[in-house]
Amino acid sequence: MSSVNSRGGLLFFDLRVHGNRCREYTKLRDTKPNREKMEAALNKIEAEIVLGTFDYSKYFPGSKNAEKFADAQPAATISQTKTATPLYKEFVKTWFN
């Protein structure tokens, strides 16, 4: 499970990507508004990880971990998912037949 933590009064992300634990430190002070911003970003990151569209270098461009995950291709993109899934009306017609 991913989280936003603090060390030395500064916030950092603690997350798992492709089974690897990663920590990304920021220069943001541990304040309520900064935590809220980071938690919103973390929710988006977690959603992209689940969908298989997460690009590490997009969120953490200068990170050594970005280099480690540079070769990892997203499992599927939203456009590929749409072509594989029938429209609702097509599904209903198939189901009723």
Joined together, the tokens standing for residue 13 give: 């992300």
pLDDT at 72: 64
More confident residue, 11 or 81: 11
More confident residue, 25 or 82: 25
For 62-78, write each residue's pLDDT tens digit.
888 888 887 765 544 44
State the pTM of this model.
Answer: 0.68
Residue 59, classified by CB atoms within 10 Å of its CB into exposed (0-12), middle (13-18) or buried (19+), is middle
